[in-house]
């Protein structure tokens, strides 16, 4: 068992394409900040090489609007570095526009649709209280 958790939480009322998109973006944010959680390249039987992936499972949870807000607050209170995706980012078309719209909101008024982090297992459980395994 791992002493840490790699967790992604998505807002439960999103469309399926949005949940998948947010999960993918958030996971890349955590992986770029924590390169030590990435394993080795994969090689198939014929020698083709594939990109490495997370060396530990990524837990995907879902939560309602209120719980997402609480999770965001708990992560900030515990100084846990996160990847964060806000609703307004769905209206943009590229990275610079995402950062520009993100900068317009504070932690108190951001409409969080997804959050991801890698932290100690016990801390992760406290932060994600109220979220449930994504169906």
Q: For 22, phi and psi rounded to 5 degrees?
A: -65, -45
Instruction: Determine contact, residues 111/4, Cβ cutoff 8 Å.
Output: no
Those residues with Cβ within 8 angstroms of residue 46's Cβ, 6 or more apart along the chain or in another chain: none
Domain range list for the chain: 4-39+52-133
The yes or no reply on domain 4-39+52-133 and CATH 3.40.1490.10 is: yes
Measure Cα distances from 23 to 14, 58, 88, 120, 131 in Å. 12, 10, 16, 20, 15
How many other C-beta atoms lie within 10 A of the C-beta of residue 9?
Answer: 31
pTM recorded for the entire structure: 0.94
- 89-129 pLDDT tens trace: 999 989 999 999 999 999 999 999 999 999 999 999 999 99
Q: Note whether 113 and 8 are within 8 A (CB).
A: no
Q: Is the dihedral of CA 28, 33, 34, 40 positive or negative?
A: positive
Three-state DSSP state, 32: helix
Tokens of 114: 């997804």
Q: Is 108 helix (H, G, I), strand (E, B) or coil?
A: coil
| Cα 119 to Cα 17: distance, rounded to the nearest angstrom | 27
pLDDT in tens, 37-69: 999 999 999 999 999 999 999 999 999 999 999
Question: Does residue 19 carry a pLDDT above 90?
Answer: yes
d(CA 9, CA 114): 6
- Confidence bin at 135 (pLDDT 50/70/90): confident
Q: Is residue 6 a contact partner of residue 127, using CB atoms and an 8 Å limit?
A: no
């Amino acid at each position: 068992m791992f002493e840490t958790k790699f967790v992604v939480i998505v807002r439960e009322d999103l469309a399926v394409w949005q949940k998948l998109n947010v999960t993918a973006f958030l996971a890349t944010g955590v992986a770029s900040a924590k390169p030590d959680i990435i394993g080795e390249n994969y090689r198939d039987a014929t020698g083709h090489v594939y990109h490495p992936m997370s060396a530990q499972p990524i837990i995907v949870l879902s939560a309602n609007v209120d719980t997402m807000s609480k999770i965001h607050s708990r992560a900030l209170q515990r100084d846990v570095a996160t990847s964060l995706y806000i609703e307004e980012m769905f209206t943009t078309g590229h990275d610079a526009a995402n950062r520009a719209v993100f900068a317009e909101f504070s932690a108190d008024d951001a409409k969080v649709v997804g959050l991801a982090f890698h932290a100690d297992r016990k801390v992760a459980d406290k932060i994600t209280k109220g979220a449930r395994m994504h169906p």
